[in-house]
Structure 1
Amino acid sequence: MSAVKNTWKRNFGIIWAGQFMSLISSSLVNFAIIIWLSVETGSAEVLAYAAIAALLPQSIIGLFSGVFVDRWDRRKTMILSDAFIACCTLIIALLFHYGNAALWLVYTLLAFRSAGSAFHMPAMQAAIPMLAPKSELLRVAGINQIIQSVSNIAGPALGALAIGLMDIAFVMYIDIIGAVFAIVSLLLVQVPHPKQTDSTTIETRQLVVDMLMGLRAITSDKGISLLFLFSILATICIMPIAVLFPLMTLEHYNGEPFHMSVVEASWGVGMLIGGGILGILKLKTNKVTLINYTYVLMGFAFAISGLLPSWAFWIFVLLTTLSGVAGSVYNACFTAIIQENIDPLLLGRVFAMFFSISLLPSLVGLLGTGFLADTVGINITFIILGAAIILIGIFSFFCKVMLPLGYQNNLPASDS
């Protein structure tokens, strides 16, 4: 038993070491692109278009990518996805290097990177329950939040430093190096795959059938359906705020790229705190109740941020840290609930489908939000969306049917 226990921890350590290098390099490069777009254009709509390009393909492809993820070898899927994303990044770097980085070309390459991520994210989430014992899933999710938050802390600071020291083309190469680390780490471990009774090749009819199976796994349980509904509504409001953070810092708080990196890092610090709490402590509070509280806390932090005067930048940083704590706890609890209550054979398509269903309306809303922010002001946009998130959290407390999901479910553990 001890050997098995140490084996899964060793595998996680190797995979997460590679993922950490990939995450921190991606965070660095993403923030460098945000700085470049913000300084070059100063437009909320341009940032909204970039976000749509980076997420729309992932959300559309995600409607059916999970079907393939559940049939394919999940380790190979992650490796090939990382390699494809690295190739797209290389092309963007070359465009910057030779001075051909028109906005529409940047949007196009961001879209291709997004397509690769449509397979990587659900494959990673679906692989976790095949490696870790069910009793450790919430703690693993917390540790995952720690790794992501450290990346979010260091990435913006390093991105601001890098773009100040070198041309953005050379900054892009850093992401490729991170992808190499991720691929090598995956080559060093084996990821168990659930036994399949069907062929790995899929006909159109079977693709539809498998997608419907994933959808049925969500809709057949009223509690899970409501959990998804509230999370989707919250994401519709949170997504525009996440995109507008840089311009909020530049325009409302009269900041500079350094201040942008401080705000992004403070979100990461909050995620680190939230992930640390979940990774170190075994909280006995119902996970659904925790999620409901995080909605209210995030909405409060966003709304107050919009009400603050322009001189209150450091209070804005503190509120951003608070929202990062809430976001970390939400992500970990939501992921653990799905992993505990959904059959491992269906996890890939369920995670991919949720990501798509939640992002598609959010991306449509981004267009209107970009126009709204440019028209009435970014701070007013923060107030409106923050208030909406608070209302979502309040309503979610009245749906008692979700509460049983918050206790560890007794689905059969995998053979791994």
Structure 2
Amino acid sequence: MQANWKRKFTILWVGQFLSLISSSAVNFAIIIWLSLETGSAEVLAFAAIAGLLPQALIGPFAGVYIDRWDRKKTMIFADSFVAVCTLVMSISFYMGNESLLLIYVMLGLRSVGSAFHMPAMQAAIPLLAPKEELLRIAGINQIIQSVSSIAGPALGALAIGLLSIGNVLLLDIIGAVFAITALLFIHIPNPENLDKSKASFKQVYGDMKIGFNVIIGNKGLSYLFLYSVIAMFCIMPVAVLFPLLTINHFHGDKFEMSVIEIIWGVGMLFGGGLLGIWKPNIHKIIIINSMHIIIGITFAWSGLLGSEHFVFFVILTALGGMAASLYNASFTTIIQEEIQPNMLGRVFSLYYSSVVIPSVVGLLCTGFIADYVGITQTFIILGLLISSVGIASFFTPALMRLGKS
């Protein structure tokens, strides 16, 4: 592992980068298309729900099979399934069927593929790299996601200006091909004591229960999940409303929407770079709690800005992106360090589901909030709640002890 992990990750990262940048471009192109075609917060919220809810519902079941299946093959099949769904959507658009229902269905099916791909990817990392390098690797992963967040929206805005939405979707398929090809060139070992037997419903339920008990049995990890769920409940509606805040409050257009998406990626790039180049000795829980506070402040402050202060909104967005990057990398590393490799698929899947399901409830309220509370007031209220989560975390002893051993 010490000798080969860098080569394996280089190949893996190249494929993932090309896949992420194409997906980022396509996702932003869809956001632009929906925002300009409908101008509706509810439509954006329903699209986000379609992309999240299926993953949340099948996530716990997917995690059981991820821990039983070959993780490399799982990622390849998941990427292939997502690519096929995107191709179907592209063909439909090409034939002139620009249906919102079709978009929701295809986003839902893509979410099913993600339910297997993301946990399998996170569960494979500790099998490829030394434990002491996990935080650095998480930082580099954040760099890759950040560069994709920077270049993807720029590419998506350019593509939607030059091509039809159906042709833009083909970029995602090209990226998936690169990701699958890269996986073919590396070996991902399976964890020790891997159970490859076919699972009955009783066995699946039992494995899910074991994964749940692993989380509940670790009091600090339980608090970490709880606070993350509360924060994400507040973050998801704000994330959906970012394009509408740019358009309606700051009077922006495609260019300004692209700037905000790109600058969030710039902030994430800076945060990931800090972890990838410099391994901090700061307790990772302190990083997580502090980033909750900073993210909340940037959201609340954005809501307080006057419509003429778009430049300051850009600065706050960059700071929020940096905080999100540091949070994500530290959170992922804590879980990878605390949980045995043969349990990671279940734990990551349970986490994604526990976060997404409450977030969907928040998203369902997005249209009501935007129409009756106001977009700027929403940013203020939810931002303050997110910061409160970070403050409360510092006063939770079990959480503060997590990861110190």
Matches within 5 A, 1:16-415: 16-196=13-193, 198-407=195-404, 409=405
Partner-residue secondary structure (3-state), 1:255:
coil
CA deviation after TM superposition for structure 1 residue 244, in Å: 1.1
Partner-residue secondary structure (3-state), 2:4:
helix
Instruction: Write the distance in 1 (CA, Å) between the matches of 2:314 and 2:130.
Output: 37
Instruction: Write the distance in 2 (CA, Å) between the matches of 1:385 and 1:166.
Output: 37
CA deviation after TM superposition for structure 1 residue 351, in Å: 0.3
CA deviation after TM superposition for structure 1 residue 183, in Å: 0.2
Contact 1:369–1:381, Cα closer than 8 Å, also in 2: no
User: Given the two structures, how large is their TM-score scaled by the length of structure 2?
Assistant: 0.99
Instruction: Write the distance in 2 (CA, Å) between the matches of 1:370 and 1:400.
Output: 38
Amino acid at match of 2:155: L
Instruction: Write the distance in 2 (CA, Å) between the matches of 1:6 and 1:282.
Output: 20
CA deviation profile, 1:363-411 (whole Å, cap 9, x unmatched):
011111221112222111111110100111111110121223243x4xx
Amino acid at match of 2:306: P
Instruction: Write the distance in 2 (CA, Å) between the matches of 1:244 and 1:281.
Output: 34
Instruction: Write the distance in 1 (CA, Å) between the matches of 2:80 and 2:34.
Output: 26
Amino acid at match of 1:277: L
Amino acid at match of 2:143: I
Contact 1:43–1:374, Cα closer than 8 Å, also in 2: no
Partner-residue secondary structure (3-state), 1:254:
coil
Partner-residue secondary structure (3-state), 1:71:
coil
CA deviation profile, 1:60-88 (whole Å, cap 9, x unmatched):
11121110000100000000000000000
Contact 2:68–2:197, Cα closer than 8 Å, also in 1: yes
Identity %: 60
Amino acid at match of 1:62: G
CA deviation profile, 1:138-182 (whole Å, cap 9, x unmatched):
000000000000000000011001111111111100110000000
User: Any gaps of 5 or more consecutive residues in structure 1?
Assistant: 410-416
Partner-residue secondary structure (3-state), 2:2:
helix
Instruction: Write the distance in 1 (CA, Å) between the matches of 2:181 and 2:402.
Output: 37
Instruction: Write the distance in 2 (CA, Å) between the matches of 1:73 and 1:29.
Output: 29
CA deviation profile, 1:345-364 (whole Å, cap 9, x unmatched):
10001001000011101101
Instruction: Write the distance in 1 (CA, Å) between the matches of 2:292 and 2:367.
Output: 23
User: Given the two structures, how large is their TM-score scaled by the length of structure 1?
Assistant: 0.96
User: Any gaps of 5 or more consecutive residues in structure 2?
Assistant: none
Instruction: Write the distance in 2 (CA, Å) between the matches of 1:197 and 1:5.
Output: 22
Instruction: Write the distance in 2 (CA, Å) between the matches of 1:316 and 1:86.
Output: 35
Contact 1:71–1:196, Cα closer than 8 Å, also in 2: no
CA deviation after TM superposition for structure 1 residue 197, in Å: 5.5
Provide the aligned length of Structure 1 versus Structure 2. Answer: 405
Instruction: Write the distance in 2 (CA, Å) between the matches of 1:154 and 1:370.
Output: 29
Instruction: Write the distance in 2 (CA, Å) between the matches of 1:191 and 1:374.
Output: 49
Amino acid at match of 1:248: L
Of 378-387 and 189-198, deviating more is 189-198
CA deviation after TM superposition for structure 1 residue 39, in Å: 0.1
Q: 1:345 to 1:308 in 2, by over 3 A?
A: same
